[in-house]
């Protein structure tokens, strides 16, 4: 293992991995000068609520790992410079970036050099320093490593705003194919351990106990990550697992990372998964999370994957002609939300404003936030169809092959680490 002793060099190694994720820089930092190794390359915007934005410093505690996951650039057998930040160094780096006005929050992830309990001790030490010594009450997202002690999981959850876990695959058999050192049962155990605390914290707040910014108890909700296309699992299987995990509460959302072949790994020759498949999974999960769809309602193709040519809401609408058209002037809010191009906000505005306002046409709906190019074919206004042909017949789709491509690109980094 090549050890990098100098802090500047350490940062260069650790932060370049986050920078290679497919996240752009916030506009205000696009022209920022490099400041040694602490460049604003690994800052991404989190939007906790519509209209709000938090810039996060994303950082690896270490890129050294004793695990040998087949898809991962940091796997044990891969030859690359390895380094490790001390908790005190990580804290200093974050506080420096914050002082410069670059970031408001922190995302910490890590490899697992040696036993998981050791790196968990370092994570807890970093959290304790930030919360107790420096009284930092802002957002901290921590990615939990598998195999931690229950007491460590509890402590991290108590101090973090959000805790995430990498499931990687929707079931144990698939996980074993790509991550032989990981156990689905262990991740599930850790997930339930965090969930219990998050649900209790949220319940206490709902009952009136004030939030403690120095001990937020993971109340921002958990996230989980799946590598898509590294195993033969279908989208139906992945969305089914996500739906089951959501059922007990405490979950904010799921992340999906399209598999990308990494050089010098056992999966180097496996084709990359189209980014569009990842996008469709995000859209399907959004239907469960925000639109009240059940997993059974999501429409899949014959092979069990989401259609690439249609977004999942449109695919559902087209497979339920008996539900359309929907009458704008009288349909319940729930029905309006099911129309492609009408989100929860727009549906609420329609219901609110139709009492006193007489909508005359598409321009009125556009002003309320309706994407009329998608919605028009599914609506009537005062009994009149707004468009004679449906959205699917009007738009020129891009063919999925355009996204899939034909050449085989091999990468040196994977985006999944930072989700």
CB of 201 to ligand SF4, least distance (A): 27
**144 vs 381, which CB is nearer to ligand SF4?**
144
**72 vs 336, which CB is nearer to ligand SF4?**
72
Q: Strand, coil or helix: what is 255?
A: strand
CB of 108 to ligand SF4, least distance (A): 13
**Cα 310 to Cα 392: distance, rounded to the nearest angstrom:** 8
Query: According to CB under 6 A, which residues from 49 to 68 bind ligand SF4?
Result: 65, 67
Place of tokens 């006005």: 101
**142 vs 308, which CB is nearer to ligand SF4?**
142
**90 vs 112, which CB is nearer to ligand SF4?**
112
Query: According to CB under 6 A, which residues from 141 to 200 bind ligand SF4?
Result: 179
CB of 94 to ligand SF4, least distance (A): 21
CB of 175 to ligand SF4, least distance (A): 11
Contact status: 72 vs ligand SF4 (CB under 6 A): yes
Contact status: 112 vs ligand SF4 (CB under 6 A): yes
**Cα 236 to Cα 253: distance, rounded to the nearest angstrom:** 17
Which of these ranges, 72-80, 121-129, 309-317, 349-357, lies near ligand SF4 under the rule CB under 6 A?
Answer: 72-80
Contact with ligand SF4 (CB under 6 A) among 13, 56, 74, 368: 74
Mode of pairing for the β-strands spanning 384-385 and 379-381: antiparallel
Q: What's the order of all strands across the beta sheet hosting 105-109?
A: 43-46, 54-60, 105-109, 140-143, 162-168, 222-228, 251-258
Contact status: 295 vs ligand SF4 (CB under 6 A): no
Contact status: 328 vs ligand SF4 (CB under 6 A): no
226 close to 255: Cβ distance less than 8 angstroms = yes
Pick from 334, 386, 333, 339: nearest CA to 359: 386
Query: According to CB under 6 A, which residues from 376 to 405 bind ligand SF4?
Result: none
Contact status: 111 vs ligand SF4 (CB under 6 A): yes
CB of 143 to ligand SF4, least distance (A): 9
CB of 179 to ligand SF4, least distance (A): 6
Q: Could you write out the DSSP letters of every residue in 309-330?
A: SS-HHHHHHHT-GGG-SEETTT
**111 vs 340, which CB is nearer to ligand SF4?**
111
# chain residues binding ligand SF4, by CB under 6 A: 9
CB of 169 to ligand SF4, least distance (A): 12
How many CB atoms are located within 10 Å of the residue 83 CB? 22
CB of 63 to ligand SF4, least distance (A): 8
Tokens linked to 190: 């850790």
CB of 61 to ligand SF4, least distance (A): 11
Contact with ligand SF4 (CB under 6 A) among 10, 44, 58, 75: 75
**Cα 341 to Cα 390: distance, rounded to the nearest angstrom:** 12
Contact status: 261 vs ligand SF4 (CB under 6 A): no
Contact with ligand SF4 (CB under 6 A) among 13, 38, 69, 163: 69
**94 vs 418, which CB is nearer to ligand SF4?**
418
> Which residues, other chains included, contact 180 with Cβ-Cβ below 8 Å and sequence gap of 6+?
68, 69, 70
**186 vs 380, which CB is nearer to ligand SF4?**
186
Q: Strand, coil or helix: what is 412?
A: coil
**Cα 325 to Cα 137: distance, rounded to the nearest angstrom:** 49
CA end-to-end distance (rounded Å), the chain: 26
Backbone angles phi, psi at 224, to 5 degrees: -145, 155
- Biggest alpha carbon distance in the chain? 72
102: DSSP letter? S
Q: Could you write out the DSSP letters of every residue in 169-234?
A: SSSHHHHHHH-TT--HHHHHHHHHHHHHHHHHHHHHHHTTPPP-TT--TTTT-EEEEEEESSSS--
Contact status: 226 vs ligand SF4 (CB under 6 A): no
Contact positions vs ligand SF4 (CB under 6 A): 65, 67, 69, 72, 74-75, 111-112, 179
């Amino acid at each position: 293992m090549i050890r990098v002793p100098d802090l500047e060099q350490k940062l260069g190694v650790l932060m370049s991995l986050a920078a290679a994720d497919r996240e752009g820089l916030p506009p205000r930092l696009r022209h920022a000068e490099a400041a040694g190794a602490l460049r604003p390359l690994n800052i991404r915007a989190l939007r906790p609520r519509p209209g709000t934005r938090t810039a996060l410093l994303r950082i690896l505690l270490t890129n050294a790992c004793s695990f040998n996951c087949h898809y991962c650039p940091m796997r044990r057998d891969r030859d690359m410079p390895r380094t490790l930040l001390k908790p005190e160094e990580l804290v200093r780096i974050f506080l420096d970036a914050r002082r410069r006005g670059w970031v408001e929050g922190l995302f910490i992830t890590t490899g697992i050099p040696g036993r998981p309990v050791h790196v968990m001790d370092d994570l807890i030490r970093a959290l304790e320093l930030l919360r107790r010594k420096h009284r930092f009450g802002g957002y901290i997202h921590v990615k939990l490593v598998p195999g931690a002690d229950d007491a460590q999981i509890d402590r991290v959850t108590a101090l973090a705003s959000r805790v995430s876990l990498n499931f990687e695959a929707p079931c144990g058999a698939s996980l074993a194919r790509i991550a032989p050192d990981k156990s689905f049962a262990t991740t599930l155990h850790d997930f339930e351990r965090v969930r219990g605390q998050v649900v209790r914290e949220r319940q206490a707040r709902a009952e009136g106990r004030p939030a403690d910014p120095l001990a937020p108890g993971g109340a921002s909700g958990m996230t989980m990550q799946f590598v898509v296309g590294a195993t033969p699992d279908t989208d139906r299987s992945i969305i089914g697992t996500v739906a089951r995990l959501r059922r007990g509460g405490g979950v904010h959302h799921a992340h999906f990372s399209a598999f990308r072949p990494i050089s010098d790994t056992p999966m180097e020759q496996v084709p990359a998964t189209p980014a569009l498949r990842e996008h469709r999974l995000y859209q399907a999960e959004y239907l469960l999370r925000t639109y009240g769809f059940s997993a059974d309602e999501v429409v899949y193709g014959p092979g069990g994957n989401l259609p690439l040519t249609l977004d999942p809401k449109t695919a559902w609408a087209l497979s339920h002609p008996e539900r359309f058209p929907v009458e704008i002037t009288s349909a319940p809010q729930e029905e309006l939300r099911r129309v492609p191009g009408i989100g929860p906000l727009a549906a609420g505005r329609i219901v609110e404003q139709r009492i006193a306002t007489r909508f005359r046409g598409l321009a009125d709906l556009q002003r309320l936030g309706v994407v009329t190019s998608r919605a028009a074919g599914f609506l009537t206004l005062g009994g009149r169809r707004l468009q004679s042909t449906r959205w699917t017949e009007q738009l020129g789709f891009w063919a999925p092959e355009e996204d899939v491509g034909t050449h085989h690109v091999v990468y040196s980094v994977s985006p999944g680490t930072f989700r």
